[in-house]
Chain A
């Protein structure tokens, strides 16, 4: 980007307007790099604006371009910085915003996310969940015991998968599962269309050709909204053994469901649907690793939910939304806040499913403060440490 000349061109001898128009193409490319949806129509309009004298003053041009090119709040907020960087040669805080280049991930929990199997996540997990593995047995009802020795991949706990090939298999299976869920859920939707009510207006309209005698009756059907799935995935250190496989699962869900949104949280919340829209799962993981940067230690579930409720819930949740939280429930922040925000969330959405990989561990009881506070607001609390346990969810989702 530094290769471009500055905005003022008095010395170059050419007609300033035509020079600006030349650089306009470069600006459009920069905008596209930054994720703006800019088409030829916008380019033409921009040229019109320049021709009409808007280029006489940078502030005027910036304001005009801002209205033309941005199409959502996030773009609206970023536009001034991009404009100044390109036309006025001012540096923006983060260069990657302009160049569109992506820095490689370096934070530990993210690297494990990328590799899909966390070489160094183990110690972290132990730090935060001491002696869970060998805690005394306590018989919980309705939970699945994990870690069977069977060869069947479906029953192997994700954290016991060491062989890269097995990991890859599990990932592929998770993606397939998401796909299968989607087909079955949609078909059920279609079959449910039926109308008990008579639509008088349409009936009269349809029978005009019969002189108004209502022979052909028109019925009113309630339109079913497709089920929307909103997934909130805990990407903190204590979950690192599981994030890889869940990222693949979510990638499959987003790819296949007509309506799905994904969020990632650790100490803060990030909206990752766009990053996950990448067709290639490996590249999606790369982009995800970028977004989750700056993760400190611990998990602030309550705080993340608060952010979600405040800024995203109104947009992504409708009456037929199932919110799926994938987390071990180890809250390092305020457990009371978590309880409050869960109550708030429960009011908005149809169902809350909480998937806890640790629930499949032998002898696990939900006694972490976080999960205790959240439990009263959860509709389904289920284990998710094997492919089979993920599969068991499907009939539940289909009933929503």
Chain B
């Protein structure tokens, strides 16, 4: 797929991409490199992987990283309980037979990483919030991402039947290693500009008018420029738009009280709520067309 085709199909599956993302996805396909997405929380990094899966009409396999994530939880694990049951059920048999039996595929629990390389058609593998995992896991992942094969001592080496499209996301709570960064294509996801955010609202919220969508996007844009502890992301914008539509608001200027009351969809800390007083909200509303 060329870059332009990708841009078209992204729009068709309901993902409003910024101009350069289509390039990134085209390069991913061409160079077979993983894509590392960085950006503030809530700018839609995870959505990129979902859109990619929809684009190629393939499965999305997701690995959520957390502190202490290790190989058994990410790659594979033997089903010990079943193995024990099997050993006891076949007490009379020879050791070699039992061994062959319990170290077969049937007793192997497939975790996301192994699943991703054993599919018929290449799936999209989303490794979410890689910065939350430990350094050791990152190093292990690096090896997997370059060889796409896994060796299981009891079973042998499993070579990938298909190379997945790998998307990694990071919120920047920890500095990633240079080696991992170099391995990946890099794309920085920024908050969408007003025009694009309006189009996202229109695509996602049914029954919303174009003028209200633009107003909401403008309002959120100016709220982001205020000095806030927690800047609202796209998901928050969509929540707010849905709330306003639900409350039958047609124009932000008609309902300043509702705007003030529903700001809770956007502001998630006490300090931020205190900062956006009705006066501040009125000033920001004044800038909205």
Contact = CB atoms under 8 A, between A and B. Distances in A.
Interface stretch (B156-164, B180-188, B246-254): B180-188
Contacts of A205: 78, 80
A314 interface: yes
A208 B83 contact: yes
Contacts of A315: 172-175
Given A67-B20, A67-B185, A318 B174 contact: yes
Nearest to A36: B182
A151 B55 CA distance: 75
Query: Interface SS of chain B: helix, strand, loop or mixed?
Result: helix
A212 B38 CA distance: 46
Interface footprint category on A: 20 to 34
Nearest to A315: B172
B182 A39 contact: yes
Nearest to B172: A315
Nearest to B33: A45
B114 interface: no
A274 B80 CA distance: 47
Contacts of B78: 205
Given A67-B20, A201-B80, A73 B181 contact: no
Contacts of A201: 72, 80
Interface in A44-89: 45, 48-49, 52, 60, 63-64, 66-68, 70-73, 75-77
Interface residues of B, number: 35
A37 interface: yes
B214 interface: no
A76 B84 contact: no
A45 B185 CA distance: 11
A204 interface: yes
Given A37-B178, A315-B174, A67 B80 contact: no
Contact of A72 (B30, B35, B38, B173): B38
B36 interface: yes
Contacts of A223: 68
Nearest to B184: A71
Nearest to A72: B181
A204 B182 contact: no
A71 B23 contact: no
Contact of B186 (A45, A67, A211, A314): A67
Specify which of A48, A73, A77 lies most central, judged by the most chain B CB atoms within 10 Å of its CB. A73
A72 B81 CA distance: 44
B184 A208 contact: no
A49 B171 CA distance: 29
A115 interface: no
A73 B30 contact: no
A68 B187 CA distance: 9
Contact of A73 (B20, B38, B174, B178): B38
B27 interface: yes
18 contacts: A45-B31, A45-B33, A48-B31, A49-B30, A67-B27, A67-B35, A71-B182, A71-B184, A73-B38, A75-B186, A77-B188, A201-B80, A208-B80, A208-B84, A212-B87, A314-B172, A314-B173, A316-B175
Interface of B: 3, 19-20, 23-24, 27, 30-31, 33, 35-36, 38, 68, 72, 78, 80-81, 83-84, 87-88, 102, 171-175, 178, 181-182, 184-188
8 tightest A-B CB contacts, nearest first: A71-B181, A212-B84, A63-B23, A76-B188, A67-B185, A204-B80, A67-B24, A71-B186
Given A212-B84, A314-B172, A315-B172, 6 more contacts: A60-B3, A67-B23, A70-B186, A71-B178, A73-B38, A73-B188
Interface of A: 37, 39, 41-42, 45, 48-49, 52, 60, 63-64, 66-68, 70-73, 75-77, 201, 204-205, 208, 211-212, 223, 314-316, 318
